[in-house]
Structures are given as C-alpha cells and as structure tokens.
Chains A and B, each alone.
Chain A
C-alpha cells in the first residue's frame, strides 16, 4: 500500500492532462461568455424594446436554471434537432452561455453606475451615441466591473468540473477514473481538491495583478 504522497505523484501525469482540458474549456467559455455578456448588457441598457426583451429573457433563462441541466440540454438534447456536438464543445458552449448571463448583469450594473454627465459631455462635443459608448462609457465600465469579473472567472473555473457528467476528460473526470481503478477514492479526490485550490488561488492572484495594472485614480471600483 503506497503512501499518500507516492499515490499523488503517480496520479499526477493523468491529472495534469485533465487540468489542461479544464483550462482549455475555461479559456474558451470565458472569452465567448464575456463578449456575449457585454453585448447582452448593451442590449439591456441601450437597446430598443425588442432587444431589451430578448436580452432580458436570455438572462432570466440562464440564471434561473442549473448549469448541469443546461449542459445536458445542449449535449444530450440538441441531437434531437440534429445538432450533435462533442462533449468538450458542448461543455464549453454551455458554460459560456451560462457565464454570459451573469456577466450581463455585472456589466449592466457597471454601465449604469457611470454618471449621466459622461454621456452628455461626450454627445456635446459631437460624438455619436456609438462613439460615446465605445470611447467613453465602455473604458470606464470595463474597469469598474473587474472585481466582479474576476469572481465570475474563478467561479467558472470550478464549474468546469461539472463537465465530467457528460464525459469530458477534465480534471474531475480523471480523478474519478483513478479512484475507480485504484479504489483509493478519498486520496484521489483530496489530491484533486488541492489542485483546484492551487488553481483558484493562482488565478485570483493573477487577476488581482491585472486589476492593479489598469487602475485609474478616481475611477470607483467596488469590491
């Protein structure tokens, strides 16, 4: 019976492979999700009635249903209408669509927290609404939203673990496989728990550093 450390060391290669998949999914879903979230927020703040209704409907739907259900829906349900996706793609899309809904709310809050005078001043020097949004509103909103965006990013990192339920060979799935093979479940999951802890801590630090780099005095950042 090997010691815990030996067990951990032996499992590491497989677990690191899983971590790579985890990170792949994470980067994909965060990039897509952030862009979509921003568009949804703009739709809710500046859109006409139809756009507002659509964006709001989307946000309510994805925030009101569990991540796992959304994943099953996309991976297992879409084939019913002919859309067949690999597990990795389905997971990335599901998590991406989900995070977009939450980010839409954060972005909306940030945009609406900017004083009305900023938009008025931009219009008064002759900028069109689109120019004002692009050059004046968004640069400020993106900075304001950083603490919440970082939180969301860390959350999604942990959510990637749900993908194991549809067979994606990410970190959690590998742990289950090892546990199943060796019957040393508790140790396998403890190792994985520690890996996730390390990942989330490192990411939190990196995001903090990023936040400090783009700081501007006087641009209120709510923690």
Chain B
C-alpha cells in the first residue's frame, strides 16, 4: 500500500507554549483521516506543519517519499501537490471564481490559458458551481466560496488534501453543501486529512479518526471503535461533549 503522507515526531512551540508534543502517523492512498480534539490543541498548526506553511521545531514530514521538512526541498513544488482548504476560504478577492481555480494552473504549472480553463471548469462542475464561474467571491455565499476553494485545491491534482475546519465559519444551512462535496471526494478515492467537529461526516467517511489532546495523540482508530468502544476515558468524554454540541449529520440539506 502506498504511504502518501508520513508524519514523524512533530513538535511545535509558540513561545513557552508547546502545542505539538510528538505527533506521528501516516496516511495511505485513498484514505480519509479526521483529526478531532479540543480547540487550541494545535490541530491547525499540525496541518500547516505538513505543507510547510509553519515549519515544525522538531520532527519530519514525508509526502510520497519526499521529505517536506528538508530545507533543500523545493517547498513550492511540494505545496502545489498538497491541497489546502482554509477555514475562512481565502479565495483571491480580486479574481472571479474561474480565475481563482485556474491561476495555480497557469502561474505555478505554466499551463496555457485554454487548457487551464478547461480543467478549471471541470473542477467547478465537480463542485456544482459551473454557473458561477464569473462571480467574484464577494458575490458568493460562504458555502459557495468554500466549494470554489475546494475546486481550486482539486485543480492542482493534489496527492493529498488538507482541510482545516472547512465548515466552522459557515452558517448552519450552508454546511451541508460543503460536506456533500467532501463526502463525494472521499468516496471517489481522494486522500484526505480533515480537521473538523462534524462528527456525522467523520462517522460516515473516515477510515480512521485521530483524537489529539494536549499536543499528543490520545487515541486513533476506525470510527466504529472510537464511537462505540473508545479505549480512553478522555476520548469518550470529548466525543460525548462534541456530539451534544454539534449534533448528528443528516444526509441531504436540512
């Protein structure tokens, strides 16, 4: 089995505060893993360590066998193969949706406009927003913006997509459309690492859930195991609190 992502003993501190204290795990091709845990435990930081936006203090990251954390590596090339979906979308404000999706292809990959446009339109279709190709981010709802940002990540043909709380900044009624896209992706075989509180999502598509608290992995395992018979008390407590707060995910829009 092909190990797409390997993370070994990641440590990261902000000043005196050590947020990551030795995280290690791996993701094989086609797997979807969901990171859960209390806020502020460095889950977002971990994602940023993986694509080099925030280099770790200690530890290594490998993408498809290439060491990301090696200072000699061309980090821009690596980043173009890892998709990143942000909590507050971060669509390029001055570009319409189509251009947002296409700019990476044209400016980073050097593709010609015609080819890039075709590919970009395909991705927009995939997330259901082909008709909004010429709309500016300010003219789109939060859910639509997030879907465009997923299309932007997909256009780069990534080996792995990182999702940093993709639905936390969305109004409740818009969450569904984004989760649908993510579920389709997971079922279609995309390798994904998702930080989220959406337990329904985790339950339905995650191959494994990783529970992080206090900078360390407390427990990891298939959803069945964590939800039905968690090994640790902390896991149980956290899951209980979370399901109470966020509710269950229902199929389709509510």
Chain A–chain B contact at Cβ < 8 A: yes
Interface segment out of the listed B6-14, B134-142, B173-181, B182-190: B134-142
Indicate whether B104 reaches chain A with its CB closer than 8 angstroms.
yes
- Identify 18 new A-B residue pairs, CB closer than 8 A, beyond the known A117-B90, A122-B92: A115-B90, A117-B86, A118-B93, A121-B92, A123-B53, A123-B76, A123-B79, A124-B51, A125-B104, A125-B152, A127-B76, A127-B104, A127-B107, A135-B103, A136-B94, A139-B94, A216-B136, A216-B138
| Binary contact readout B166-203 vs A (1 if CB under 8 angstroms, 0 otherwise) | 00000000000000000000000000000000000000
Indicate whether A13 reaches chain B with its CB closer than 8 angstroms.
no
Alpha-carbon distance between A219 and B136 when the two chains are bound, in angstroms: 10
Contact status A125-B90, CB under 8 Å: no
Contact status A218-B53, CB under 8 Å: no
Query: For window 119-144 of chain A, which residues contact chain B by CB distance below 8 Å?
Result: 120-128, 131, 135-136, 139-140, 143
Contact status B53-A121, CB under 8 Å: no
Query: For window 81-136 of chain B, which residues contact chain A by CB distance below 8 Å?
Result: 81-82, 84, 86, 88, 90-94, 103-104, 107-108, 136
Q: Which residues of A contact B86 (CB under 8 A)?
A: 117, 120-121, 124
Q: How far is the CB of A5 from chain B (nearest CB, A)?
A: 50
Chain B interface secondary structure, helix, strand, loop or mixed?
helix
Q: How far is the CB of A204 from chain B (nearest CB, A)?
A: 25
| Binary contact readout B46-85 vs A (1 if CB under 8 angstroms, 0 otherwise) | 0000010100000000000000000000001111111010
Q: Which residues of B contact A117 (CB under 8 A)?
A: 86, 88, 90
Q: How many residues of B contact A (CB 8 A)?
A: 29
Contact status A143-B94, CB under 8 Å: yes
Contact status B90-A120, CB under 8 Å: yes
A interface, how many residues as a size bin?
20 to 34
Indicate whether A217 reaches chain B with its CB closer than 8 angstroms.
yes
Q: Which residues of B contact A128 (CB under 8 A)?
A: 76
Alpha-carbon distance between A29 and B220 when the two chains are bound, in angstroms: 65
Q: Which residues of B contact A125 (CB under 8 A)?
A: 79-80, 84, 103-104, 108, 152-153, 156
